[in-house]
Amino acid sequence: MNLKKLLQASFLINLIQIILILIIIFFMTYTPSKEMYVLLYTTGILTVFNSTLSVLGYYFILYKKEKEDVSETIKNLERFNSTLREQRHDYLNHIQVIYGLMELEEYEEAKKYMEPVYKDILKVSKALRTAQPAVNALLQAKLQMAEKDAIDMYLEIKSDLKYIPMEGWELCKVLSNLIDNGMTALKQLDYGRNLYIDITEDELYYTFYIYNNGPVIEEEAIPKIFIEGYSTKKEEGHGMGLYITKRIVEAVKGTIQVESREGKTCFSVKLPKDREEKLTV
């Protein structure tokens, strides 16, 4: 079914309904008759039909969105694989340089050369710690994005996310929205941009903390930020990310909260473990 035609049909029926209602109001006021009841009956049928079209339209929009999310996850995996191939090639070159410096007994130079390489390796290893390949790919992609935007991104992953209660692409959507939200806020700073992602677990829950040192969210705005369409940005196309994130989290009986004060804005997500389902696979 063509979504565009579906929405056009819904719009046309809405227009017809408005015209019929105006006619009914006019004639019921001045010349009530049996024909008016026919018009009322017709309007009722059109209302039901239009409601059905609206529901179908909403379903297809959500279905399309889900396909886009899965597609984005696949792209992240492809980028991740490409990055690993590039890094493998780079590391071989680094080893050759370090070996050459050691042969020349330039030990201090070798140490200086190794420091940034070692830090790069640590970043990659931290992004590979979960049992969710899509999440690993996402975190690696976000590390690269952060580097390009002069944002220092710190990962502290203390869980393999083995029993996560949702599909990998859904968790990626949650994390991606929160990380992007933090990066956008940090771009308002001229320097000292820090973004932290902490993932922990206990017996029953996974907890995700995504926080940054960007501008404070105004107290009156905090209750509104998860409302559909709400955004502090003036450009069109904003105001859906946090709404979608909240919807995904609450669909698995999780919770999402935000706290903001000078120097720290933190989004925390709590998800219940899905042990039974995963253990029966």
* 141: in domain: no
What mean pLDDT is predicted for residues 96-119?
79
Query: Contact 136/128 with Cβ under 8 angstroms?
Result: yes
User: Above 80 in pLDDT, residue 2?
Assistant: no
Query: Contact 232/243 with Cβ under 8 angstroms?
Result: no
* 130: in domain: no
d(CA 70, CA 56): 21
- 42, 63, 84: which is the final residue of a domain? 63
Domain count for the chain, please give it: 2
User: Above 50 in pLDDT, residue 279?
Assistant: no
Q: Report the Cα–Cα distance between both ends of the chain, in Å, rounded.
A: 35
* 168: in domain: yes
Beta strand 151-157 with 193-201: parallel, antiparallel or unpaired?
parallel
Residue whose entry in the numeric block shows the structure tokens 């042990």: 275
* 229: in domain: yes
CA-based radius of gyration for the chain:
27
CATH code for position 244: 3.30.565.10
User: Above 90 in pLDDT, residue 68?
Assistant: no
* 176: in domain: yes
- 63, 84, 109: which is the final residue of a domain? 63
Question: Do 40 and 161 share a domain, yes or no?
Answer: no
Question: Do 158 and 36 share a domain, yes or no?
Answer: no
Domain containing 187 equals 149-281
Question: Do 154 and 274 share a domain, yes or no?
Answer: yes
Question: Alpha helix (H) ranges present in the chain?
Answer: 3-30, 34-103, 107-127, 133-148, 168-186, 241-251, 275-279
User: Above 90 in pLDDT, residue 132?
Assistant: no
Question: Do 57 and 167 share a domain, yes or no?
Answer: no
Q: Provide the CA 68 distance to its chain's centre, in angstroms.
A: 12
* 116: in domain: no
* 97: in domain: no
% of the chain residues with pLDDT over 90: 31
d(CA 165, CA 167): 7
Using alpha carbons, select from 197, 172, 158, 217 the residue that is nearest to residue 68.
172
* 277: in domain: yes
Handedness of CA 193, 141, 126, 172 (dihedral sign): positive
Q: Any idea which of 49-53, 183-187, 208-212, 257-261 has the lowest mean pLDDT?
A: 49-53
Question: Do 170 and 52 share a domain, yes or no?
Answer: no
More confident residue, 281 or 28: 28
User: Above 70 in pLDDT, residue 146?
Assistant: yes
Tens digit of each residue's pLDDT (9 = 90 or more) over 188-200: 999 999 999 999 9
More confident residue, 13 or 176: 176
Instruction: List, in order, residues 6 or more apart from 226 with CB less than 8 Å away.
Output: 242, 243, 245, 246, 256
Question: Do 154 and 263 share a domain, yes or no?
Answer: yes
Tell me the residue type at 252: V
Retrieve residue 174's tokens: 């949650």
- 43, 63, 83: which is the final residue of a domain? 63
Given strand 205-212, what is the order of strands in its sheet? 151-157, 193-201, 205-212, 264-272, 255-261
Task: Supply the DSSP symbol for 259.
Answer: E
